[in-house]
Amino acid sequence: MNEYLLSVCIFIVLFIIVFLVDYFLINKRKLDLIKNKGITKKGKKKKIKNISEIDYLTAKFKLKEKELDMDGMIIIISLINAFIISIVSSIVMLMPFAIMWQMIVAFALLFGLIYCLYEIYGRHLKHKEERK
């Protein structure tokens, strides 16, 4: 029981850390560059970086990027990414297998969760767009 409690605690701490890093240090900065057309707060010109998850969702589900709420999307995307990383690491830590088998299971879980969660989120966005 103690092992499961430790795993839940690690999941929660890792979820919070990954969400904060992904949102504030990665996606928020990219979104600010996109909104300001590549000009930073100091007035320097930088190359505009696209958010790959948004590009994937718009291409796969044929969403109109101009009609999407980008601020809300990056929060959901950061939550999805944090959940995927946290759940995979927590499950793999509980496995009593050798490291090679843990890595194989981790990759399978990782790709499965990425596909499933982004598929669900993309269908939700498509359904929301059709209602408008």
pLDDT tens, position by position, 29-50:
888 777 776 666 666 776 767 7
Q: What pTM, to 2 d.p., does this model score?
A: 0.87
Query: What does the angle CA 118 – CA 121 – CA 123 come to, to the nearest 5 degrees?
Result: 105
Residues of the chain above pLDDT 90, percent: 58
**Where residue 109 falls among pLDDT bands split at 50, 70, 90?**
very high
Task: List the domain range (segments joined by +) for residue 53.
Answer: 2-131
Q: Based on C-alpha coordinates, what's the Rg of the chain? A: 18
Secondary structure class of 45 (helix, strand, coil): strand
Domain total for the chain? Answer: 1
Secondary structure class of 38 (helix, strand, coil): coil
Question: Any bridge partners for residue 45, and if so which?
Answer: 39
